């Protein structure tokens, strides 16, 4: 586990996914964990209409000393957490750089245009290759499948947070996670979330 | 037979107001539906070939191909088409007297065919108020509920498609000439489906000079009477030249000239008065409101008529020469007029890349139009 | 207990901008808060409603924004502190009252918080509320970060009481919906007593009658208040400067653009060359402060979103003081340095600065940028907005669309604001043909319904949501009924204000604070107007379609069809699936004649996925909510439903 030093200040995280995947919840949990460690965290979010089946993004700025813009400048992400694989590519196109790291779920959510047959959805192998070509490292995790095994697909975002913690770029410890989710979830849901967090961390370390 | 898809059907028929609303494209898919006499396409369909187009009697009808299939010869353009014999007919003593119009010949034939198992379902046209409503009937006694004449176009073939979906295998259908033409196309398996079965066991065609568009008829009649009180509509055989509208005991008469204004343009392209591709055709008999004209066209039609006569469902006699002559004159006139009009508008034997209403030997066109 | 009521002074919490505003109001001792839901403003009232019982305050979701402002103003007249909240275009709705309220003045501190939506992220307009402050002549504050959102809100109440005037505190999406660290102040403990004094001298601001007349007198008073505001603003800690003593370029900015500008200067490493004047009090501008900072630089860049409000106001001061400060070169929206349309971000400010100072900036190596060229297009298919899986609107518009097609008279639907606005997109079968303000679908239909006289023979339909019905559709219906306008209104009743997060409205038995309240029946209201009313379940597709056709054929005046089915996102629906769906791949017709993928190509519920390889439709069990409607869409009977256990 890293100390409370950040690899960069501000350290820029983008959590991306599709409306309804729990993007907002994941970014809040992550931010609260970091606030507990004494950081300034700014989250910029898209919601409202864009939530309805659209691409959603949360920008997190983590800093020792200041509040930063809720929008990360183009090309300045340090890590991208994608709850849906093609969303990783969409975000990389704008915010990627040679040093960026990517942690992505593998489960596709087909846009209406793909369902309708108007658009093509790339194969996961293709997405992996693309992501690896424009990042310093990209990890792909079967988070939704694992979450289904745990009994609820929404746990996919917690598995992804666990995976992010496995990067050891940020001081994300398990006990902070427990505290944060205990504040917003009923007691009986805490254990399964802890399990999901650990699972994600383990998957990344593999 | 040239086959295209729903978009071409929309462009070449529906958008040009050539659709008569026969129902041939209804109940095949989620896209075409009929509502109050009008066929609508609910959503776009992208297929390049579809049954909707293939079945439509208003586009790419290959008369030679059909005539070869059902009568073993090219389309010759005779006023009454191919037939074996022509008679006068009326319902026999085995048929309950009901509110059927004219001689009750159609009701008699369908009841008989159902009762004797020649068919397992009858596709008929019932009515709700003055709106014609297609029905699939399986009980011989119920045939009479659909016995009265309807004068507005009906999507009857939607019920045929439904009966096929419901897997009836011996279906009898009572249809107008345009519908009969469509049935003839359906039975040829135009999309060459491997699992195709011809489940149409009997086609009784009606005589028709035109139909009325329900969408214009309803407001027209509403201006004259309370539409909900109408019990029956009748057009007595020529030379009466009136439409009778009954409200129980009461009756009003409307000159046919006024009614003809409500006939859709598409009827003026119709080349067939007597349902030439049926097994049996039935129509009015001039001067005899209690009798019908009966044309037997196919062997299976012949067989059913013979047995119906033997079993007392039908009484037939030779048709008087004068009636036959007049029938041929009227049917020939309709055919000639329609061919001339369609020809003038380039709707016959259009070039390969264009869609054509009719296809047949050019010399036959010449013979008909003179 | 919610973090919003944390009594510990100095406690630090991660708050959304809207929560910070709510906390600021609590620290100011707000007693009454009212609003109408609208993104990005809704969480302010929601947060306050959540703590209303514990904080002993009254919070309501009013029927519309004008009502919200009136409810809040009543509290102010009764010497309580009050808050009213709305999204940008809500101010338009409230503006008639706003004008008069600005004229009459207030008593207890009263703050209006409009949340603007630059870039229209959740709107169909880029409305500006700041101009209202200038138009009705009230002070305007704009917080620049989350801490300020809280601190300024608290201060706004004090300022309001000092001036006896309404204060506008304007937020934007990127503040309201962003989150950051906020250090808490204290919560007041005292009780407040409401009393309305109206028996004093008629012109007495504390005891007289509350009115904007006599206009010359009250208008004059208003200007005195503005003058006083200017003086106070000259020394406000919310106006700050950071940068060198003699900057090459002075940036003047406010609101979220402060953060963008600061970031741009930092990324470009220009802290020694560029100065940043951040203004929190943006109307009326403090002239001395402006003069002082304008004097520092020759080049002035004004960074703001939507209209050039700050830009124009600064230019007026610059013109008035030109002899003192010299002639400046201005950059901003008017000269195109900053775009006139859309929201800003740090990159826009970087662009502006590099252009003005002629510096090179590459956010990432060219080689890398080249690799990402076109990626967003080919590697990530576009996601168009769609109705959620199980959304009743998809079913409703399916039936409305089909009824119109069957009717065949080129009928059309006038829509307005709610999730159902998306029915102008393929997800709603492109059914809506007009979309404007709340309730405008009904109002336009009332007008269209009178055009038969001039030959309009197309059936006229309107749709509105249940919340919109109460908001502004009712007057439109009254108008239509009284003037014998012929149209059919479809009320898409999903039992809540779904788009903004399921807030209650007068049709429900619960209010913002969770109390039991009388519910008003939409059907009875319409019947009392003399409309023909039908109620259906939109999930019964054929019945809904048939009813609608029937209503459209009834040419006698006003008809109302209420389609009742609860929103798929409601807690009740999320609790469990009604049906377990299954797809029989053997029966699925796929792209064959007879279907051609009507479910995935047209109906397009995200729970159904087209399997290209197998040429059949598959069910995505993670996404499917089990509403069961697609079983009725499938022409082959391949999709089946059975009651979930």
Q: For chain B, what are the domain ranges?
A: 6-214+262-369
Beta bridge partners of A63: A40
Residue A49 has pLDDT above 70, yes or no: no
A176 shares contact with chain C (CB less than 8 Å) = no
Residues of C in Cβ contact (< 8 Å) with A44: 174, 177-178
C401 vs B42: CB contact, 8 Å cut-off? yes
What CATH number does the domain located at C3-234 have?
3.40.50.970
Res B366: pLDDT? 95
User: What are the pLDDT digits (tens) for C75-97?
Assistant: 999 999 999 999 999 999 999 99
**CA neighbor of A165 nearest in space, from A79, A70, A88:** A79
Distance CA C33, CA C38 (A): 15
Judge whether residue C202 has pLDDT over 50. Answer: yes
Residue C571 has pLDDT above 80, yes or no: no
Min mean pLDDT across A29-43, B142-156, C379-393 is at B142-156
* Average pLDDT taken over every residue of chain C: 95
Band (A3; pLDDT cuts 50, 70, 90): low
One DSSP character per residue, C206-238 reads TTS---S-SHHHHHHHHHHHHHHHHHHHHT-TT
Is residue C99 predicted with pLDDT exceeding 90? yes
- Closest Cβ–Cβ partner in B28, B43, B51 for C602: B43
CA B120 to chain C, closest CA, distance in angstroms equals 23
CB C630 within 8 A of CB C609: no
Which residues, other chains included, contact B351 with Cβ-Cβ below 8 Å and sequence gap of 6+?
Answer: none
All structural domains of chain C with their residue ranges: 3-234, 240-357, 392-572, 576-643
Per DSSP bridges, beta strands B171-175 and B200-206 are parallel
Number of H helices, E strands in chain A: 8, 6
What integer pLDDT is reported at residue B97 of this predicted model?
Answer: 66
- The β-bridge partners of B242 are B255
How close does chain A come to C420, measured CA to CA in Å? 11
> Is the CATH code 3.40.50.920 the one for domain C240-357?
yes
Contact criterion met (CB below 8 Å) for C479 and C485: yes
Q: Are C635 and B29 an interchain contact pair (Cβ–Cβ within 8 Å)? A: yes
C240-357 matches C576-643 in fold: no
Say which range, B315-329, B354-368, C241-255, C570-584, has the weakest mean pLDDT.
C570-584
Task: Decide if C1 touches A, using CB distance below 8 A.
Answer: no
CB contact under 8 A, B43 and C633: no
Query: Tens digit of pLDDT for each residue in A75-86?
Result: 999 999 999 999
Q: Dihedral of CA C199/C201/C203/C204: which sign? A: negative
**Contact partners of B by the rule of 3+ C-beta pairs under 8 A?**
C
Residues A149-171: tens digit of each pLDDT: 999 988 999 999 999 999 999 99
Report yes or no: C635 at the B interface, CB cutoff 8 Å.
yes
Is A47 in Cβ contact with C385 (below 8 Å)? no
Can you tell me the distance from the alpha carbon of A172 to that of A193, in angstroms, rounded to the nearest whole number? 15
> Residue A2: pLDDT above 50?
no
Question: In C, residues 181-210, which contact A (CB 8 Å cutoff)?
Answer: 181
- Is the peptide bond between C635 and the residue preceding it cis, with omega within 30 degrees of 0? no
Confidence of residue A1 (pLDDT cuts 50, 70, 90): very low
Kindly tell me if the per-residue pLDDT of C220 is higher than 90: yes
| C370 near A CB under 8 A | no
A152 in contact with chain C, both atoms CB, cutoff 8 A:
no
Among chain A residues, the shortest Cα distance to C363 is held by A75
pLDDT reported for residue A47? 57
The minimum CA-CA distance between B38 and chain C, rounded to whole Å, is: 8
Give percent above pLDDT 90 in chain C. 91
The CATH homologous superfamily of the domain defined by A11-205:
Pyruvate-ferredoxin oxidoreductase, PFOR, domain III (3.40.920.10)
Neighbours of chain A (3+ CB pairs under 8 A): C
Which residue from C363, C600, C610 is facing A74, i.e. has the nearest CB? C363
Closest CB to A112: pick one of C12, C267, C386.
Answer: C386
Q: Which of B222-236, C6-20, C532-546 is predicted with the least confidence, judged by mean pLDDT?
A: B222-236
Q: What is the mean pLDDT of residues C406-410?
A: 96
Q: Which of B135-139, C418-422, C499-503 has the lowest mean pLDDT?
A: C499-503
Chain C residues close to A98, C-beta within 8 Å: 364-365, 368
Q: Which residues of B touch C632 (CB under 8 A)?
A: none
**Residue numbers in chain B where pLDDT is lower than 70:** 97-101
Q: Does residue B136 contact residue B162 with C-beta atoms inside 8 Å?
A: yes
226-255 of C, contacting A, C-beta below 8 A: none
d(CA B194, CA C467): 55
Using an 8 Å CB-CB cutoff, list chain A residues near C364. Answer: 75, 96-98
pLDDT at C334 over 60: yes
% of chain A at pLDDT higher than 90: 77
Tokens of C142: 């704009």
Is the pLDDT at A4 greater than 50? The verdict is: yes
A36 touches chain C (CB under 8 A): no
Confidence of residue C441 (pLDDT cuts 50, 70, 90): very high
A47 at interface of C, judged by CB pairs closer than 8 A: yes
CATH topology of domain C576-643: Alpha-Beta Plaits (3.30.70)
Answer yes or no: are the C-beta atoms of C474 and C520 closer than 8 Å: no
Tell me which chain C residues have a C-beta less than 8 angstroms from the C-beta of A55. 380, 383
pLDDT tens for B86-121 read 999 999 988 876 655 678 999 999 999 999 999 999
Sheet order of strands, C274-279 included:
C240-242, C274-279, C249-254, C299-303, C329-331
CA–CA separation, C379 and A138 (whole Å): 15
Does the CA dihedral B340-B341-B343-B349 come out positive or negative? negative
Per-domain residue ranges for chain A? 11-205
User: C382 in contact with A at a CB cutoff of 8 Å?
Assistant: yes
Q: Is A149 on the interface with C (CB under 8 A)?
A: no
* Nearest in space to C42 (alpha carbons), one of C50, C32, C53: C50
- Confidence category of residue C233, pLDDT binned at 50, 70, 90: very high
Q: Does A125 touch chain C (CB under 8 A)?
A: no
Q: Using alpha carbons, select from C626, C630, C629, C627 the residue that is nearest to residue C617.
A: C630
Judged against a pLDDT cut of 90, whether residue C435 lies above it is answered with yes
Report helix, strand or coil for C263: helix
Taking the Cβ of residue C499 and every Cβ of chain A, the question of whether any pair is shorter than 8 Å is answered with yes
Q: Which residues of B touch C (CB under 8 A)?
A: 28-31, 33, 35-36, 38, 40-43, 45-47, 49-51, 191, 215
Chain A CB contacts of C13 under 8 Å are 35
Nearest to B30 among C406, C408, C635 (CB): C635
B30 and C402 within 8 Å at the Cβ level: the answer is: no
Taking the C-alpha atoms of residue C115 and residue C256, their distance in angstroms, rounded to an integer, is 12
Give exposure, C513-534, as e/b (b: 16+ Cβ within 10 Å): beeeeeeeebbebbeebebbbb
The CATH code for residues C392-572 is: 3.40.50.970
Find the CB nearest C596 among B35, B46, B191. B46
pLDDT tens-digit profile of C423-434?
999 999 999 999
Q: Which residue of C has its CA nearest to A153?
A: C622
> How do beta strands C558-564 and C532-536 pair?
parallel
Strand pairing partners for C279? Answer: C254
Q: Which residues contact A28 (CB under 8 A, 6 or more apart)?
A: A43, A184, C14, C179
């Amino acid at each position: 586990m890293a100390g409370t030093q950040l690899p960069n200040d501000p350290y820029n995280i983008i959590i991306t996914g599709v409306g309804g995947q729990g993007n907002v919840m994941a970014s809040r949990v992550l931010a609260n964990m970091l606030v507990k460690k004494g950081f300034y965290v700014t989250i910029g979010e898209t919601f409202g209409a864009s939530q309805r089946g659209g691409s959603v993004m949360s920008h997190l700025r983590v800093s020792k000393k200041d509040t930063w813009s809720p929008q990360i400048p183009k090309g300045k992400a340090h890590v991208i957490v994608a709850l849906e694989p093609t969303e990783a590519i969409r975000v990389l196109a704008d915010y990627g750089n040679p040093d960026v790291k990517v942690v992505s779920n593998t489960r596709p959510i087909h846009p209406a245009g793909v369902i309708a047959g108007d658009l093509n959805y790339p194969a996961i192998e293709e997405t992996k290759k693309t992501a690896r070509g424009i990042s310093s490292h990209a990890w792909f995790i079967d988070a939704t499948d694992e979450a289904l095994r745990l009994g609820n697909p929404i746990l996919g975002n917690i598995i992804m947070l666990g995976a992010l913690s496995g990067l050891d770029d940020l001081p994300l410890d398990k006990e902070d996670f427990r505290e944060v989710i205990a504040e917003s979830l009923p007691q009986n849901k805490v254990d399964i979330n802890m399990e999901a967090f650990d699972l994600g961390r383990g998957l990344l370390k593999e | 037979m040239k086959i295209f898809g729903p978009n071409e059907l929309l462009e070449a028929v529906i958008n040009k107001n050539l659709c008569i609303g026969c129902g041939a494209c209804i109940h095949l898919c989620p896209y075409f539906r009929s509502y109050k006499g009008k066929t609508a396409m609910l959503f776009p369909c992208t297929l390049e070939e579809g049954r909707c187009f293939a079945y439509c009697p208003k586009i790419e009808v290959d008369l030679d191909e059909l005539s070869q299939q059902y009568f073993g010869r090219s389309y010759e353009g005779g006023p009454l088409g191919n037939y074996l014999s022509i008679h006068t007919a009326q319902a026999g003593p085995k048929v309950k007297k009901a509110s059927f119009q004219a001689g009750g010949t159609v009701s008699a034939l369908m009841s008989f065919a159902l009762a004797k198992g020649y068919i397992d379902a009858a596709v008929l046209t019932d009515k709700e108020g003055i709106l014609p409503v297609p029905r699939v009937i399986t009980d011989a006694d119920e045939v009479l509920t659909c016995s009265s004449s309807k004068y507005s176009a009906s999507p009857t073939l939607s019920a045929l498609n439904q009966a096929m979906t419901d897997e009836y295998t011996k279906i009898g259908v009572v249809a107008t000439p345009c519908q009969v033409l469509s049935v003839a196309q359906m039975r040829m398996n135009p999309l060459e489906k491997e699992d195709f079965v011809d489940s149409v066991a009997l086609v009784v065609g009606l005589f028709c000079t035109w139909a009325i568009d329900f969408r214009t008829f309803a407001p027209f009649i509403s201006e004259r009477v309370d539409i909900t009180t109408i019990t029956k509509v009748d057009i007595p055989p020529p030379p009466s030249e009136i439409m009778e509208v009954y409200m129980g005991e009461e009756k009003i008469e409307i000159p046919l000239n006024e009614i003809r204004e409500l006939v859709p343009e598409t009827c003026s392209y119709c080349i067939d008065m007597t349902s030439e591709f049926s097994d049996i055709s039935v129509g009015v008999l001039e001067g005899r409101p209690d009798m019908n004209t009966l044309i037997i066209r196919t062997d299976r039609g012949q067989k059913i008529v013979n047995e119906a006569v033997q079993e007392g469902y039908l009484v037939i006699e030779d048709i008087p020469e004068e009636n036959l002559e007049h029938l041929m004159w009227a049917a020939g006139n309709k055919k000639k007029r329609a061919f001339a009009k369609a020809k003038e508008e380039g709707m016959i034997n259009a070039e390969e890349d264009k869609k054509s209403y009719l296809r047949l030997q050019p010399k036959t066109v010449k013979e008909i139009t003179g | 207990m919610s973090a919003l009521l944390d009594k510990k002074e100095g406690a630090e919490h991660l708050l959304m901008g809207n929560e910070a505003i709510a906390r600021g109001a609590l620290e100011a001792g707000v007693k009454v808060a009212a609003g109408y839901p609208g993104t990005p403003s809704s969480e302010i009232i929601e947060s306050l409603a959540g703590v209303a019982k514990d904080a002993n305050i009254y919070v309501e979701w009013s029927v519309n924004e004008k009502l919200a402002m009136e409810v809040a103003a009543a509290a102010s007249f009764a010497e309580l502190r009050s808050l009213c909240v709305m999204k940008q275009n809500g101010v338009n709705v409230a503006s008639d009252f706003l004008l008069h309220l600005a004229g009459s003045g207030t008593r207890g501190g009263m703050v209006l918080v409009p949340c603007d939506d630059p870039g229209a992220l959740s709107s169909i307009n880029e409305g500006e509320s700041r101009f209202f402050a200038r138009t009705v002549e009230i002070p305007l504050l704009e917080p620049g970060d989350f801490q300020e959102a809280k601190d300024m809100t608290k201060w706004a109440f004090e300022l309001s009481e000092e001036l006896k005037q309404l204060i506008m505190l304007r937020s934007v999406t990127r503040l309201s919906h962003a989150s950051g660290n906020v250090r808490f102040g204290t919560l007041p403990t005292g009780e407040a007593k409401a009393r309305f004094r109206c028996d004093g001298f008629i012109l007495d601001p504390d005891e007289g009658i509350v009115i904007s007349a006599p206009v010359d007198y009250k208008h004059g008073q208003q200007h005195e208040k503005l003058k006083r505001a200017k003086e106070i603003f000259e020394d406000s800690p919310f106006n700050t400067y950071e940068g060198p003593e003699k900057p090459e370029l002075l940036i003047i900015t406010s609101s979220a653009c402060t953060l963008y500008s600061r970031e741009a200067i930092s990324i470009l490493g220009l802290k020694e060359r560029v100065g940043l004047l951040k203004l929190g009090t943006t109307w009326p501008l403090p002239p001395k402060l402006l003069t002082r900072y304008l004097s520092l630089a020759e080049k002035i860049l004004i960074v703001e979103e939507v209209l050039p409000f700050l830009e124009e106001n600064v230019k007026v001061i610059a013109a008035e003081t030109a002899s003192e400060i010299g002639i400046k070169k201005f950059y901003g929206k008017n000269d195109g340095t900053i775009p006139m349309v859309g929201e800003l971000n740090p990159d826009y400010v970087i662009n502006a600065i590099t252009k003005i100072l002629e510096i090179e900036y590459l956010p990432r190596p060219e080689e890398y940028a080249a690799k990402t060229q076109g990626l967003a297009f080919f590697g990530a298919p576009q996601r168009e907005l769609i109705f959620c899986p199980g959304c009743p609107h998809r079913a409703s518009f399916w039936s409305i669309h089909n009824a119109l097609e069957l009717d065949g008279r080129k009928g059309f639907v006038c829509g307005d604001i709610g999730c159902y606005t998306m029915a102008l997109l393929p997800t709603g079968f492109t059914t809506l043909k007009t979309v404007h303000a709340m309730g405008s679908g009904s109002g336009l239909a009332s007008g269209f319904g009178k055009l038969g006289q001039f030959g309009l023979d197309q059936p006229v339909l309107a749709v509105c949501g249940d919340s919109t019905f109460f908001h502004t559709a009712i007057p439109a219906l009254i108008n239509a009924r009284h003037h014998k306008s012929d149209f059919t209104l479809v009320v898409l009743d999903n039992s809540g204000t779904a788009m903004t997060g399921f807030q209650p409205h007068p049709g429900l038995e619960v209010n913002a604070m969770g109390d039991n309240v009388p519910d008003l029946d939409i059907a009875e209201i319409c019947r009392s107007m003399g409309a023909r009313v039908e109620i259906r379940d939109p999930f019964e597709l054929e019945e809904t379609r048939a009813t609608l056709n029937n209503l459209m054929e009834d040419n006698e005046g006003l008809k109302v069809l209420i389609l009742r089915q609860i929103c798929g996102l409601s807690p009740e629906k999320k609790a469990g699936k009604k049906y377990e769906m299954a797809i029989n791949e053997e029966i699925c017709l796929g792209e064959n004649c007879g279907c051609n993928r009507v479910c995935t190509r047209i109906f397009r519920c995200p729970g159904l996925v087209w399997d290209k390889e197998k040429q059949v439709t598959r069910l995505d069990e993670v996404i499917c909510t089990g509403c069961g409607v697609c079983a009725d869409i499938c022409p082959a009977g391949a999709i089946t439903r059975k009651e979930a256990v």
